[in-house]
Amino acid sequence: MLPLNQYTKNIRHDFMKATFGEKEAHKNPFIQFERWLEDAVKGAVQEPNAMVLSTANKKGKPTSRVVLLRGLKSHCFTFFTNYQSKKGAEIQENPYACLLFFWPELERQIRIEGKIVKATDLVSNAYFASRPHESQIGACASPQSTVIKNREVLEKNTVLLQEQYPTKVPRPKNWGGYVLQANYYEFWQGRESRLHDRICYSLQKNKTWKKQRVAP
């Protein structure tokens, strides 16, 4: 096998599965997102709702991580986390963020930009109640993003919480949902020779969407 540095330079994969043009792109980017998400589900993409969430602090220093899309409605995309995590702190300092879905099986990716707001207590309570008991315990046991001495800290917290809450677990106040309200979409379809199709939508002041092709 080649040294890894050389190997990364030599990786080549041409994209030939599909095309994506302005005419077939729906005028409403949310409907277009739903179409592609449905394709990903039908195409047996592993974790089709997995998305890279990129946030930045008030100084503009970015951080990215994979989270799961847990709700979507009319240009709003919901995920759940610990409000006191690093992502939570950055969202509080700078509410503008980006989501990235990458589905290599379909040679597609979608980038969505917008502003993040907190989900309502009603939404957060309902989703937390729907989670498996083990996941509810895990959300309470982990002081997400903080330094801990070792894994035993988590395991001890878990045992204590299981004894305290053998059935129903109340949602912690520091855990809940966020909603990204989209103002920009980019749909990327891989094409041959790196001449990919990129169709973008920008939200205008009159609340309409402007659709454009951009160069790959």
DSSP state string for 98-110: EEEEEETTTTEEE
Q: Select which of 65, 111, 191, 194 is catalytic.
A: 194
Structure confidence at residue 150 (pLDDT)? 97
194 counts as catalytic: yes
Residue range 110-161, pLDDT digits in tens: 999 999 999 999 999 999 999 999 999 999 999 999 999 999 999 999 999 9
The CATH T-level fold of domain 14-132+173-213 is Pnp Oxidase; Chain A (2.30.110)
User: Residue ranges of the domains in the chain?
Assistant: 14-132+173-213
In the DSSP assignment, the letter for residue 173 is: T
The answer to whether the CB of 176 falls within 8 A of the CB of 80 is: yes
Is the pLDDT at 205 greater than 90? The verdict is yes
| Long-range CB contact pairs, 210-215, < 8 A, 24+ | 211/22, 211/25, 211/27, 211/29, 213/21, 213/22, 214/186
Token pair for residue 212? 């454009």
**Looking up tokens 């599965």, which residue turns up?**
17
Structure confidence at residue 101 (pLDDT)? 98
Residue ranges in 19-172 assigned as alpha helix (H): 29-42, 86-93, 121-130, 133-141, 151-164
Q: Which of 8-17, 66-75, 82-91, 154-163 has the lowest mean pLDDT?
A: 8-17
Arithmetic mean of pLDDT over the chain? 96
CA–CA separation, 34 vs 62, rounded Å? 28
Residue range 78-95, pLDDT digits in tens: 999 999 999 999 999 999
Cα torsion 22, 25, 26, 30 to 10°: value is: -130
Is the pLDDT at 29 greater than 90? The verdict is yes
CA–CA separation, 105 vs 45, rounded Å? 6
Is the pLDDT at 23 greater than 90? The verdict is yes
Structure confidence at residue 2 (pLDDT)? 81
Dihedral angle sign, alpha carbons of residues 75, 180, 39, 68: negative
| pLDDT band per the 50, 70, 90 thresholds, residue 13 | confident
Residue range 148-185, pLDDT digits in tens: 999 999 999 999 999 999 999 999 999 999 999 999 99
> For the chain, what's the residue count?
216
Q: Which of 11-15, 43-47, 101-105 has the lowest mean pLDDT?
A: 11-15
